[in-house]
Structure 1
Amino acid sequence: MIDKSCNKNIFQIWRDRGEALPFEVIRWSWSPSSSFLVEQIEIGKWPYGKAWGRFIKAGRAGPPQKLDNAGSYQWKAVEGGSPPGA
């Protein structure tokens, strides 16, 4: 699935959301049943940095880890997304 509305990087989405954490995102090529819960942001040189959180697949969260490709312009926020168990 290629979702052309996924056109921002993680750090732009974070700023658009008032720099509030956590938030859930999906990458343009991912299945709708997969997402990533961003729990920590470290800005390097704007608009890039590092992001950490947990992959969510079919509603189940994995262990905390660094997110690869957070600076690529292939992400969008999952509207109505919330942490598992919330």
Structure 2
Amino acid sequence: MTNQRDKETKMYIYVADVVSVVWNKDRAEVLKRLRGKKSRQKLVEEIVAQGGECSHQNLKKLEYGESESVSIKVLDAICSAL
């Protein structure tokens, strides 16, 4: 049995050439799981402390899968804080 993931085309490009990434409910769930018990506000404070940008409202929209995309800049800031 072949799953959908096996049929996806993969391409390697420079991250610097990417402006945003498509966001979906699956990615939202991963973000929630990675945040764990840390409050959204605490994560936002850590992002800002590292010089990143992400509001509490934006983080909430990402976690609820309400955003269609996320900028690489914001995604990088979230990943660095996590």
Tell me the TM-score normalized by structure 2: 0.32
Q: Which structure features the higher share of strand residues?
A: 1
Q: Which has the higher contact order (CA 8 A, sep 6+)?
A: 2
Q: Which structure features the higher share of helix residues?
A: 2
Tell me the TM-score normalized by structure 1: 0.31
Determine which structure has more spread, i.e. the larger CA radius of gyration.
2
